[in-house]
Chains A and B, each alone.
Chain A
Amino acid sequence: MSAATGQLTQAHLVVEQALEASRSEACIVIVEEDSEAELRFANNTVTTNGTRRDRNVSVISFRETEGGTAVGTASSSGAADAVDLVRRAEANAATAPPAEDASPLVGPSGVALPSEFADPPQMTSLAGLGDVLARLGDAFGRARSAGTSLYGFAEHQVSTTYLGSSTGLRLRHVQPTGKLEVVARTDGGERSAWAAAGACDLATVHVEELEERLVRRLAWAERRIELDPGRYEVLLPPDAVADLVIMLGLSTSGREAEEGRSVFSAPGGATRLGESLSTQPFSLRSDPGEPGLECSPFLATSASGQDMSVFDNGLGIERTEWVSQGRLARLQYHRAAAKRSGMEAATLADNLILELPGATASLEDLVGRTERGLLLTCLWYIREVDPATLLLTGLTRDGVYLVEHGEIVGSVNNFRFNESPVDLLSKAIEAGRTERALSREWNEWLNRTAMPPLRVAEFNMSSVSPAT
Chain B
Amino acid sequence: MATVELDADFLALPLESVREAALDRARALGCEHAEVRVERIRSQVARLRDARLETSADNLELGIGLRVVHDGSFGFAATVELDPGAAGELVDQAVATARATAPAVTERVELAAEPSHGEAVWTSSYRLDPAEVPMAEKVALLEDWSGRLLSASGVDHTTAYVLAVVEDKYFADLAGTVTNQRRVRVHPVVEATAVDAEETGFETMRSLAPPAGRGWEYLLGEGWDWDEEIARIPEYLAEKLRAPTVVPGAYDLVIDPSNLWLTIHESIGHATELDRAMGYEAAYAGTSFATFDKLGGLKYGSEIMNVTGDRTVEHGLATVGYDDEGVQAQSFDLICGGVLVGYQLDRRIARAKGFDRSNGCAFADSPGHIPIQRMANVSLRPAAGTGPSTEELISSVDNGFYVMGDKSWSIDMQRYNFQFTGQRFFRIEKGKLAGQVKDLAYQSRTTDFWGAMQAVGGQSTYRLGGAFNCGKGQPGQVAPVSHGCPSALFKSINVLNTRTESGR
Q: Which residues of A contact B (CB under 8 A)?
A: 6-8, 36, 38-56, 71-80, 88-89, 91-92, 95-97, 99-101, 126, 133, 136-137, 140, 149, 151-153, 155, 181-183, 185, 189, 192, 194, 259-261, 265-269, 302-306, 380-386, 388-389, 391, 393-395, 397-398, 414, 416, 418-420, 423, 444, 458, 460, 462-468
- The verdict on B386 contacting chain A, using a C-beta distance below 8 Å, is no
| Docked CA distance A415–B59 (Å) | 41
Interfacial chain A residues near B410, Cβ < 8 Å: 381-383, 393-395, 416
Which residue of B62, B156, B280 is within 8 Å of A78 (Cβ)? B62
| Docked CA distance A265–B419 (Å) | 26
Interfacial chain A residues near B80, Cβ < 8 Å: 8, 53-55, 77-79
Q: Given contacts A8-B81, A53-B79, A96-B53, is CB(A43)–CB(B107) below 8 Å?
A: yes
Interfacial chain A residues near B193, Cβ < 8 Å: 259, 261
In the complex the two chains form, is A78's CB within 8 Å of B63's CB? yes
Interface size class of B (residues with CB under 8 A): 35 or more
Min CB distance A219 to B, Å, is 19
In the complex the two chains form, is A42's CB within 8 Å of B54's CB? no
Q: Given contacts A418-B498, A462-B443, is CB(A380)–CB(B86) below 8 Å?
A: no
Min CB distance A88 to B, Å, is 7
* 5 pairs, A vs B, C-beta closer than 8 Å: A39-B101, A46-B105, A53-B79, A381-B411, A386-B502
Which residue of B157, B278, B279, B286 is within 8 Å of A261 (Cβ)? B157
Interfacial chain B residues near A56, Cβ < 8 Å: 59
- The verdict on B18 contacting chain A, using a C-beta distance below 8 Å, is no
Interfacial chain A residues near B2, Cβ < 8 Å: none
Q: Given contacts A47-B280, A54-B368, A383-B409, is CB(A418)–CB(B501) below 8 Å?
A: yes
Max chain A CB contacts within 10 Å: which of B58, B74, B82, B409? B58
Which residue of B74, B105, B282 is within 8 Å of A185 (Cβ)? B282
In the complex the two chains form, is A126's CB within 8 Å of B97's CB? yes
A261 nearest CB neighbor, chain B only: B202
Interfacial chain A residues near B370, Cβ < 8 Å: 48, 50
Q: Is chain A's binding surface mostly helix, strand, loop or mixed?
A: strand
Report the 3 A-B pairs with minimum CB-CB distance, sorted nearest first.
A95-B136, A78-B80, A50-B76
| Docked CA distance A381–B266 (Å) | 11
Which residue of A46, A265, A380 is within 8 Å of B101 (Cβ)? A46
In the complex the two chains form, is B57's CB within 8 Å of A73's CB? yes
| Docked CA distance A142–B427 (Å) | 57
- The verdict on B61 contacting chain A, using a C-beta distance below 8 Å, is yes
In the complex the two chains form, is B279's CB within 8 Å of A43's CB? yes
Interfacial chain A residues near B100, Cβ < 8 Å: 126, 133
| Docked CA distance A95–B46 (Å) | 13
| Docked CA distance A8–B136 (Å) | 33
Instruction: List which B47-76 residues lie within 8 A (CB) of chain A.
Output: 49, 52-63, 73-76
Q: Given contacts A42-B283, A77-B80, A133-B101, is CB(A386)–CB(B60) below 8 Å?
A: no
B80 nearest CB neighbor, chain A only: A78
In the complex the two chains form, is A96's CB within 8 Å of B136's CB? yes
- Binary per-residue interface labels of chain B (483-500) against chain A in the complex, 1 for a CB within 8 Å, 0 otherwise: 000000000001010110
In the complex the two chains form, is B56's CB within 8 Å of A42's CB? no
Which residue of B57, B63, B443 is within 8 Å of A75 (Cβ)? B57
